[in-house]
């Protein structure tokens, strides 16, 4: 019998500490985000309030004991009117829960949410060396649409970013 996919829920204020912990782990230990300073509770609270105000999703998956295993969100790709149907997304899974289908379930939920909000294009900005994230996006039908060489710097080296897009019908 196949295990059902984990339930995706809207994140609430009670998840903010865990969102911060997951995000800060990625900031400190990966090139999934080109930042080097951990986020403060105030920064995460302001980010979450902005998402709620703009009716942008912050989706999560909890473990059986109620801990947040991962979260996902999207926001405007660019702030200009002409880009109003294009979003850039992010998915972060707690290190202890990677490889358990959490990211897959979150991506499916984000895509469904984007369709419901009449989003036309979803963009993923991925570190070029992150082969797992590239394969993950390709499995959902994302295709390469550009790259910027030496776009960022972290851990003492230049990083290339590649963009992947998913065109949604409608």
- What single-letter DSSP state applies at residue 141? T
Side-chain half-sphere exposure of 31, counting CA atoms within 13 A: 22
163 and 131 in contact (C-beta within 8 Å)? no
Q: Which pLDDT band, with edges at 50, 70 and 90, does 170 fall under?
A: confident
Residue 26 belongs to domain spanning:
9-167
Q: In this structure, is residue 3 part of a structural domain?
A: no
How confident is the model over 109-148, as pLDDT tens digits? 999 999 999 999 999 999 999 999 999 999 999 999 999 9
Residue 160 has pLDDT above 90, yes or no: yes
Which pLDDT score, from 0 to 100, does residue 6 have? 78
Number of domains in the chain: 1
152 and 35 in contact (C-beta within 8 Å)? no
Q: In this structure, is residue 1 part of a structural domain?
A: no
Residue 84's domain is classified under what CATH number? 3.40.630.30
Q: In this structure, is residue 4 part of a structural domain?
A: no
How confident is the model over 53-86, as pLDDT tens digits? 999 999 999 999 999 999 999 999 999 999 999 9
E strand spans, 38-130: 58-62, 68-76, 86-93, 121-127
- What single-letter DSSP state applies at residue 57? -
61 and 7 in contact (C-beta within 8 Å)? yes
Q: In this structure, is residue 112 part of a structural domain?
A: yes
Q: Which pTM does this prediction carry?
A: 0.94
Residue 6's nearest CA partner among 100, 137, 111, 133 is 100
């Amino acid at each position: 019998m196949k295990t059902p996919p984990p339930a995706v829920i809207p994140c609430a204020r009670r998840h903010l500490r865990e969102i911060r912990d997951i995000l800060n782990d990625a900031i400190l230990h990966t090139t999934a985000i080109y930042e080097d300073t951990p986020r403060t509770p105030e920064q995460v609270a302001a980010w979450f309030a902005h998402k709620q105000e703009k009716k942008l999703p912050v989706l999560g998956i909890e473990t059986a004991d109620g801990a947040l295993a991962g979260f996902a969100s999207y926001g405007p790709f660019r702030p200009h009117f002409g880009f109003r149907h294009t979003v850039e997304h992010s998915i972060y899974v707690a290190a202890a829960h990677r490889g358990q289908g959490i990211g897959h379930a979150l991506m499916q939920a984000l895509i469904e949410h984007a369709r419901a909000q009449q989003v036309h294009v979803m963009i993923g900005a991925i570190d070029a060396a992150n082969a797992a994230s590239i394969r993950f996006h390709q499995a959902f039908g994302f295709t390469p649409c550009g790259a910027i060489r030496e776009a960022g710097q972290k851990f003492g080296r230049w990083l290339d970013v590649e963009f992947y897009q998913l065109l949604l019908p409608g």
